[in-house]
Amino acid sequence: MRRRSSASVGSEQMEKGTAKNQHSRLCFLATLSLFFWVLLLYFHFVVLGGNPLEESAKLQPIAVRTEFTPSHRIDDPSSEPRTSATPLTESHLETPRVVDPPIRETPRVVDPPKRETPRVVDPPKREAPKVVGTKSKMENFPFMRALRTTENKTDPCGGRYIYVHDLPPRFNEDMLKECRKLSLWTNMCKFTSNAGLGPPLENVEGVFSNTGWYATNQFAVDVIFNNRMKQYDCLTRDSSIAAAIFVPFYAGFDIARYLWGYNTSVRDAASLDLVNWLAKRPEWNIMGGKDHFLVAGRITWDFRRLSDEETDWGNKLLFLPAARNMSMLVVESSPWNANDFGIPYPTYFHPAKDADVFMWQDRMRNLERKWLFSFAGAPRPDNPKSIRGQIIDQCRNSKVGKLLECDFGESKCHSPSSIMQMFQSSLFCLQPQGDSYTRRSAFDSMLAGCIPVFFHPGSAYTQYTWHLPKNFTKYSVFIPEDDIRKRNVSIEERLRQIPPEQVKIMREEVINLIPRLIYADPRSKLETLKDAFDVAVQAVIDKVTRLRRNIIEGRTEYDNFIEENSWKYALLEEGEREVGGHEWDPFFSKPKGEGESGGSSAEAAKKSWKNEQRDQS
Burial of 4 (0-12, 13-18, 19+ CB in 10 A): exposed
The mean pLDDT of 16-27, rounded to a whole number, is: 52
* pLDDT at residue 533 is higher than 50: yes
Distances from the Cα of 240 to the Cαs of 276, 287, 543, 548, in angstroms? Answer: 21, 11, 17, 13
Contact predicate 222/200, CB 8 Å: no
- What SS3 state is found at 448? coil
| pLDDT surpassing 70 at residue 74 | no
Residue 37 binned pLDDT confidence (cut-offs 50, 70, 90): confident
Confidence of residue 529 (pLDDT cuts 50, 70, 90): very high
pLDDT at 49 over 90: no
Between the alpha carbon of residue 298 and those of residues 286, 303, 609, the distances in Å are 29, 9, 11
- Least confident range from 41-45, 106-110, 203-207: namely 106-110
Banded model confidence at residue 140, pLDDT cuts 50, 70, 90:
confident
Contacts of 305 (CB under 8 A, 6+ apart): 264, 267, 312, 313, 314, 315, 316, 319, 597, 602
The 10 Å Cβ neighbour count of residue 359 is 15
Mean pLDDT to the nearest integer, 183-209: 92
69 Cβ neighbours under 8 A, 6+ residues apart: 123, 131
The count of residues in the chain is 617
The separation between the first and the last C-alpha atoms of the chain, rounded to the nearest angstrom, is 148
- C-alpha Rg value of the chain to the nearest Å: 40
Q: Which of 28-32, 211-215, 503-507 has the lowest mean pLDDT?
A: 28-32
In this prediction the pTM is 0.76
Tell me the CA distances in angstroms from 79 to 73, 75, 76, 93, one per residue in order.
7, 9, 6, 12
CA distance 375 to 453: 10
- Find the DSSP H helices in 404-531: 416-424, 441-447, 481-485, 491-496, 500-517
Pairwise CA distance, residues 62 & 258, whole Å: 67
- Choice among 137-141, 182-186, 300-304, 458-462 with the minimum mean pLDDT: 137-141
Give span(s): CATH 3.40.50.2000, the chain: 363-517
Question: pLDDT (tens digit, 9 = 90+) per residue, 212-261?
Answer: 999 999 999 999 999 999 999 999 999 999 999 999 999 999 999 998 88
Quote the CA–CA distance of 518 and 441 in Å, as a whole number. 13
Q: Which of 180, 301, 299, 156 is nearest to 232 (CA)?
A: 156
* Residue 258 amino acid letter: Y
pLDDT(452) > 70: yes
**pLDDT class of 80 with cuts at 50, 70, 90:** very low
Q: What is the pLDDT of residues 473-488, one digit of tens each?
A: 999 999 999 999 999 9
For the residues 462-467, what does the mean pLDDT come to? 97
Q: Is 344:443 a contact under the CB 8 Å cutoff? A: yes
- Give the per-residue pLDDT at 105: 46
Where is pLDDT greater, at 14 or 172? 172
What does the pLDDT read at residue 351?
98
Say if residue 109's pLDDT is above 70: no
Supply the pLDDT for residue 97: 43
List of residues 6+ apart from 65 with CB closer than 8 A: 88, 93, 98
Per DSSP, the chain holds a count of helices (H) and strands (E) of 23, 11
**Confidence (pLDDT) at 413:** 79
| pLDDT of the residue at 515 | 98
Least confident of 35-44, 87-96, 315-324, 328-337: 87-96
pLDDT of residue 41: 67
What CA–CA distance (Å, rounded) separates 311 from 313? 6
> Regarding predicted confidence, which is higher, 617 or 191?
191
Give me the pLDDT at residue 433, please: 94
How many CB atoms neighbour CB 47 within 10 A?
A: 10
| pLDDT tier, 601 (very low <50, low <70, confident <90, very high otherwise) | low
| 117 has a pLDDT exceeding 60 | no
Give the per-residue pLDDT at 612: 53
Q: What is the pLDDT of residue 407?
A: 72
CA nearest to 230, candidates 516, 514, 466, 521 = 521
Q: Who wins on pLDDT, 17 or 508?
A: 508
pLDDT higher at 244 or 57: 244
Rounded Cα gap, residues 199 and 193, in angstroms: 7
How far, in Å, CA of 258 to CA of 250, rounded?
A: 13
Residue 472 near residue 460 (C-beta atoms within 8 A): yes
Contacts of 325 (CB under 8 A, 6+ apart): 287, 288, 289, 290, 292, 339
Nearest to 209 by CA among 362, 1, 386, 12: 362
Quote the CA–CA distance of 578 and 497 in Å, as a whole number: 36
pLDDT of amino acid 57: 38
The alpha carbon torsion through 394, 397, 399, 403 (nearest 10 deg) reads 60
Angle (CA) 290-293-297 rounded to 5° is: 145
Q: Identify the pLDDT of residue 586.
A: 94
Inter-residue contact 571 to 463 (CB < 8 Å):
no
Query: Predicted confidence band at 384 (pLDDT cuts at 50, 70, 90)?
Result: confident
> Would you call the peptide bond into 96 cis, given omega within 30 degrees of 0 as the criterion?
yes
Fold of 363-517: Rossmann fold (3.40.50)
Q: Does the structure show a pLDDT above 70 at 426?
A: yes
Mean pLDDT, the chain, rounded, equals 82
Q: At residue 311, what is the residue type?
A: T
For residues 356-365, give the mean pLDDT.
98
Q: Which residue has the higher pLDDT, 597 or 140?
A: 140
